């Protein structure tokens, strides 16, 4: 069974540009979450989608947005990039984040975004 | 809001020794899950072990075991017979069981180095 796939693996963008990152969850998983990892702030929750609906959102500005498609694939978009957006962006999928036995999150290898 | 604290930024032990990583958390909730994730240089987060808060018995997975003290809000990870492949960043994480609040909150991590 294929794992969580994130594309691209590496990305370099210029300040002010926008970027879209993609995450394909494990087959059958309906929940996709996004996390930002930086040396200074650690791992921070961005948002979570379940069955195409955003269920949870972290404390990030509106420049960070996402969506989930009917096949559970998710995209994350960052507009008007700032230098501080340079980070490893991790995607995790789960059968269901409902607090039951299916709360294990499987992570992708991440997208390393560098803003110059 | 939940917080997770890992007070040991770095640790190192000799191969085959036992090492314990500390984690404390703060929450007002009664139902939740705790996890230890491992992030090797490949960047992919891998679940090491999980603990349901309603279970008094400490979880074990082969060489990995936890000491879960719910009243003290402590959740330490013990690695027995450490191996070179255990070298990685280790993150303690918390997730609520309450619907609508299921987002992983991570600690700042402990960098563990196994010395040959």
A81-96 per-position pLDDT tens digit: 999 999 999 999 988 7
User: Which of A58, A88, A99 is nearest residue B43 as measured by Cβ atoms?
Assistant: A88
Instruction: Check residue B104 and give its pLDDT.
Output: 87
Q: A22: distance to nearest CA of chain B, Å? A: 16
User: Which of A88, A98, A104 is nearest residue B99 as measured by Cβ atoms?
Assistant: A98
Residues in chain B with CB shorter than 8 Å from the CB of A103 are: 33, 50, 95, 97, 102
Rounded (to 5) percent helix, strand, coil in chain A: 5, 50, 45
Distance CA A78, CA A17 (A): 9
Instruction: Check CB contact of B102 with chain A, cutoff 8 Å.
Output: yes
pLDDT tens-digit profile of A54-68? 988 999 999 999 999
Distance CA A42, CA B91 (A): 10
Residue percentage of chain B with pLDDT more than 90: 77
Distance CA B33, CA B103 (A): 11
| Average pLDDT over every residue of A45-59 | 91
* Interface size between A and B, measured as CB pairs under 8 A: 63
Residue located via tokens 């007070």: B7
| Average pLDDT over every residue of A7-12 | 97
Does an H or E element contain A6, and which? strand A5-7
Residue A50: HSE in the Cβ half-sphere, 13 Å Cα cutoff: 16
Q: A110: distance to nearest CA of chain B, Å? A: 7
pLDDT tens-digit profile of B50-62? 998 988 899 999 9
Q: Which of B77, B98, A19, A15 has its CA nearest to residue A7?
A: A19
Ranges of residues in chain B whose predicted pLDDT is under 50: none
pLDDT exceeds cutoff 60 at A19: yes
Distance CA B29, CA B33 (A): 11
Instruction: Classify B79 as helix, strand or coil.
Output: strand
Instruction: Check residue A56 and give its pLDDT.
Output: 86
Instruction: For chain B, positions 51-90, list CB contacts with chain A under 8 A.
Output: none
């Amino acid at each position: 069974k294929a794992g969580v796939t994130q594309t691209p693996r590496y990305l370099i963008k210029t300040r002010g540009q926008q970027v879209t990152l993609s995450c394909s969850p494990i087959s059958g998983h309906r929940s996709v979450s996004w996390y930002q990892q930086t040396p200074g702030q650690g791992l921070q929750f961005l948002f979570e989608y379940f069955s195409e609906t955003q269920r949870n959102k972290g404390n990030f500005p509106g420049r960070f947005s996402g969506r989930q498609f009917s096949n559970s694939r998710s995209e994350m978009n960052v507009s008007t990039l700032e230098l501080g957006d340079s980070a490893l962006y991790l995607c995790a999928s789960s059968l269901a984040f409902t607090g039951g036995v299916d709360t294990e999150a499987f992570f992708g290898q991440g997208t390393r975004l560098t803003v110059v | 809001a939940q917080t997770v604290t890992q007070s040991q930024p770095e640790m190192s032990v000799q191969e085959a020794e036992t090492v314990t990583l500390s984690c404390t958390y703060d929450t007002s909730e009664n139902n939740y899950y705790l996890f230890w994730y491992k992030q090797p240089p490949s960047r992919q987060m891998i679940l090491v072990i999980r603990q349901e808060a309603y279970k008094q018995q400490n979880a074990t997975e082969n060489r990995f075991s936890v000491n879960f003290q719910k009243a003290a809000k402590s959740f330490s990870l013990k690695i027995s017979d450490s191996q070179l492949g255990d070298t990685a960043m280790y993150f303690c994480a918390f997730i609520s069981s309450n619907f609508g609040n299921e987002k992983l909150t991570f600690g700042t991590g402990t960098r563990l180095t196994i010395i040959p």
